[in-house]
Amino acid sequence: MAKALNHFRTITRHRHEVIRNCFKAGIPWQGLKHDLSKYSWTEFSEGARYWQGTRSPNDREREVKGYSESWMHHKGRNRHHFEYWTDYSPVDKKIKPVEMPTRYVVEMFCDRVAASKIYQGDKYTDQSPLTYFLNGKTRRGEMIHPATSDLIEKYLTHLAENGEEKTFAYLRQVIKKDKEERKKRKKELKNAR
């Protein structure tokens, strides 16, 4: 029971941190919807069983079972994970990464910053999320679309070099421009019909 309560506290603290970040970045609705699937039985039960408090329970679940049922459930329902963005290529009929829409890359940024703060506690710096990202770059390899990888690295580098206040101000401008472009594309598609 203690692990379940601790897991609930961890995911809720994380979620609240992401919500704050998403509001700062100009994507409040995404923040409010962020990671709700972690409270589903599939994800919560496994997260509670493998909770350790210093890293994702999904990592421990993988070590024990060879896979993470919780992660497979989670990545299929949350668009801020690059693993969600795969599809069959019409050219070579293989599953390949698809470039993520900007608003979900921004949410991924908010998620990575929050996770670094939750798991690193007092050791967190604005460099922490970038360091974590770069350490996993080789492992991710071709699983993430190159443009998506470059974009999240750009945002994390901006944070490391400029701090949160300037980075969130920058991301609000990115989101504003993205909304305008999506609105324009939608109008063009409607006129093309």
More confident of the two residues 104 and 189? 104
Tokens 């409040």: give the residue.
Answer: 28
pLDDT at site 54: 81
The answer to whether 70 touches 61, Cβ cutoff 8 Å, is yes
Q: What pLDDT score was predicted for residue 186?
A: 87
Q: How far is CA 127 from CA 17, 34, 52, 85, 147, in A?
A: 17, 23, 24, 26, 21
In which band, very low, low, confident or very high, does the pLDDT at 188 lie, cut at 50, 70 and 90? Answer: confident
More confident residue, 56 or 172: 172
pLDDT at 189 over 90: no
- Asked if 9 and 48 touch (Cβ cutoff 8 Å), the reply is no
Segments of the chain assigned E as strands: 86-88, 95-97
- Average pLDDT of 113-121? 92
pTM of the model: 0.92
pLDDT at 53: 82
Percent of the chain residues topping a pLDDT of 70: 100
pLDDT at 77: 96
| Residues 120, 126, 127: CA angle, nearest 5 degrees | 85
pLDDT recorded at residue 134: 96
Task: Report whether 145 contacts 45 (CB < 8 A).
Answer: no
Pairing status of strand 95-97 against strand 86-88:
antiparallel
Model confidence over 153-183: pLDDT tens digits? 999 999 999 999 999 999 999 999 999 999 9
Strand partners, 95: 88
Over 90: is that where the pLDDT of 119 sits? no
pLDDT tens digits, 58-96: 999 999 999 999 999 999 999 999 999 999 988 999 999
Mean of pLDDT over the chain:
95
Mean pLDDT computed over 129-133: 96
